[in-house]
């Protein structure tokens, strides 16, 4: 059986933060109902679409969920969600700050009807502190949390990371909180409120950079390019090759000595480079020497040579190369699924449990596709009651 068989989850999320958390819950076997506004999740309307005109981002994050159109700004819509939450295990939401409270759907309100309910809230800055209540997105959190000021090169502007890592890192934190709350509930019988803020989830990833600031031993630039965030390991960089780029790092003196043997460059044996501290003081010269060697070789050939020498390295792959990478394909984190409508691509799961199979994702439904079934199956509504909600634009 899947790890979360029988667990019912209500997804009141949008964009990446909440939906990725609930996507992981779905891959673990939870039954997830995605609640969307009458206009639908904003990511349904992005211009990056497949051949059939479907939003690729929406499909990646919402495959495997049932979809329901529900206007939470109406009293009837709020009551429907309250009734669904009363029969569910988890509600995940990352709406704008205060929205659930304004809808009368706070944790206190929902848990009064269902003391076993776990409500997981994804926020920008949390429920307390000077920034509590401020709206936030991946880019604005990167700006506010020193990610942008530490990304890029010293002589360049602050730069956002390529991937939207803030949302996804926070979503995995939120998943951890949900799973912990489910475990505690199995002991106490009581649910609780789980809160994860984007800012809190990101700051631990700045450990090396913060260490560099707190250390009195040296003054560091905020942005170190592809070098170590605290400039405490050298070499630690990307280096040009004859057909692209490769990353190489030597975390110990032994790694550096093995690299010197491969490079066979007399300058690499300079006494200035004998230990890590010396290499870090002379980082420009070290990088120049390593780059001179890598530039004469192809990146995949270098990767093989460095792997044999047990020196940490990896070729820098492009996105098209990633999509055909045999390891990525075998791990099925990017998964092609075939159904009666054809073949579509979505996300698999990074979570592998030895005795709990990953649940295969199904094609995400259209906006409100499963509304009638959910109301009928979960709440026992009659066709007349469902028609009433539709005529009043609640669903």
The answer to whether residues 243 and 296 touch, using CB atoms and an 8 Å cutoff, is no
CA 257 to chain centroid = 37
pLDDT value of position 218: 66
CA distance 369 to 363: 12
pLDDT value of position 92: 98
- 269, with CB counted inside 10 A (0-12, 13-18, 19+), is exposed
CA distance 102 to 49: 34
Tell whether omega for the bond before 151 is within 30 degrees of 0, i.e. cis: no
pLDDT value of position 52: 80
Nearest Cα to Cα of residue 244 among 182, 173, 148, 318: 318
Measure Cα distances from 293 to 83, 170, 276, 310, 377 in Å.
66, 40, 20, 17, 66
Can you state the percent helix, strand and coil of the chain, rounding each to 5? Answer: 45, 15, 40
Ranges of each domain in the chain: 8-203+326-391, 233-312
Span 5-30, pLDDT tens digits? 999 999 999 999 999 999 999 999 99
CATH class given for the domain over 8-203+326-391: alpha beta
The answer to whether residues 228 and 222 touch, using CB atoms and an 8 Å cutoff, is no
Q: Left, alpha or beta for 168 (phi > 0: left; psi -120 to 50: alpha)?
A: alpha
pLDDT value of position 380: 96
Q: Tell me how far apart the 2 most distant CA atoms of the chain are, in Å.
A: 86
The answer to whether residues 364 and 339 touch, using CB atoms and an 8 Å cutoff, is no
Which residues lie below 8 Å from residue 121, measured CB to CB, with a gap of 6+? Answer: 93, 94, 100, 107, 127, 193, 194, 195, 196
pLDDT value of position 348: 92
Phi, psi (deg, nearest 5) at residue 158: -55, 145
User: SS3 for 186?
Assistant: helix
Phi, psi (deg, nearest 5) at residue 329: -65, -45
Span 238-282, pLDDT tens digits? 999 999 999 999 999 999 999 999 999 999 999 999 999 999 999
User: SS3 for 372?
Assistant: helix
CA distance 389 to 76: 8
Span 270-313, pLDDT tens digits? 999 999 999 999 999 999 999 999 999 999 999 999 999 999 99
Q: pTM for this one?
A: 0.90
Phi, psi (deg, nearest 5) at residue 51: -60, -30
pLDDT value of position 214: 84
Superfamily name and number for 233-312: formyl-coa transferase, domain 3 (3.30.1540.10)
Catalytic residues: 167
| pLDDT in single tens digits along all 395 residues of the chain | 899 999 999 999 999 999 999 999 999 999 999 999 999 999 999 999 888 888 999 999 999 999 999 999 999 999 999 999 999 999 999 999 899 999 999 999 999 999 999 999 999 999 999 999 898 999 999 999 999 999 999 889 999 999 999 999 999 999 999 999 999 999 999 999 999 999 999 999 999 888 878 877 767 778 888 998 888 899 999 999 999 999 999 999 999 999 999 999 999 999 999 999 999 999 999 999 999 999 999 999 999 999 999 999 999 999 999 999 999 999 999 988 999 988 989 999 999 999 998 898 999 889 999 999 999 999 999 999 999 999 999 99
pLDDT value of position 222: 81
The answer to whether residues 72 and 78 touch, using CB atoms and an 8 Å cutoff, is yes
* DSSP, res 350: S
Phi, psi (deg, nearest 5) at residue 10: -105, 120
CB < 8 Å & 24+ apart, contacts of 368-376: 368/36, 368/67, 368/68, 368/69, 368/395, 369/66, 369/67, 370/33, 370/66, 370/67, 370/68, 371/67, 371/68, 371/69, 371/70, 371/395, 373/66, 374/33, 374/66, 374/68, 374/84, 375/80
**Overall residue count recorded for the chain in this entry:** 395
The C-alpha R_g of the chain, in whole angstroms, comes to 25
């Amino acid at each position: 059986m899947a790890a979360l068989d029988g667990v019912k989850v209500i997804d009141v999320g949008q964009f990446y933060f909440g939906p990725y958390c609930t996507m992981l819950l779905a891959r673990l076997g939870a039954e997830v109902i995605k609640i969307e506004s009458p206009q639908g999740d904003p990511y349904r309307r992005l211009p990056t679409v497949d051949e059939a005109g479907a939003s690729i981002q929406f499909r990646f994050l919402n495959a495997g969920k049932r979809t329901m159109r529900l206007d939470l700004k109406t009293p009837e819509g709020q009551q429907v969600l309250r009734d669904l939450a009363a029969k569910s295990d988890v509600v995940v939401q990352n709406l704008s700050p205060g929205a659930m409270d304004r809808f009368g759907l706070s944790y206190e309100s929902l848990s009064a009807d269902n003391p076993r309910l776990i409500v997981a809230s994804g926020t920008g800055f949390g429920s307390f502190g000077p920034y509590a209540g401020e709206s936030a997105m991946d880019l604005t959190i990167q700006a506010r949390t020193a990610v942008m000021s530490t990304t890029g090169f010293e002589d360049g502007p602050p730069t956002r990371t390529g991937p939207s890592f803030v949302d996804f890192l926070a979503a995995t934190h939120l998943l951890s909180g949900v799973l912990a709350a489910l475990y505690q509930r199995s002991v106490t019988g009581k649910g609780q409120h789980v809160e994860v803020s984007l800012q809190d989830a990101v700051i631990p990833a700045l450990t090396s950079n913060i260490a560099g600031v707190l250390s009195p031993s040296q003054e560091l630039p905020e942005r170190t390019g592809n070098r170590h965030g605290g400039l405490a390991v050298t070499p630690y960089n990307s280096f040009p090759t004859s057909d692209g780029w490769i990353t190489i790092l030597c975390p110990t003196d032994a790694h550096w000595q093995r690299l010197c043997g491969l490079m066979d460059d007399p300058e690499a044996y300079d006494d200035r480079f004998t230990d890590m501290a010396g290499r870090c003081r002379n980082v420009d010269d070290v990088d120049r020497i390593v780059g001179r060697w890598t530039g004469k070789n192809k990146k995949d050939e270098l990767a093989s040579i460095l792997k044999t020498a047990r020196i940490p390295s990896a070729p820098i792959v492009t996105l098209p190369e990633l999509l055909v990478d045999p390891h990525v394909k075998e791990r099925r984190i990017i998964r092609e699924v075939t159904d009666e409508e054809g073949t579509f691509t979505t996300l698999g799961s990074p979570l592998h449990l030895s005795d709990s199979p990953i649940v295969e994702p199904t094609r995400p439904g259209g906006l409100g596709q499963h509304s009638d079934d959910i109301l009928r199956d979960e709440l026992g509504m009659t066709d007349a009651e469902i028609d009433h909600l539709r005529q009043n634009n609640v669903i």
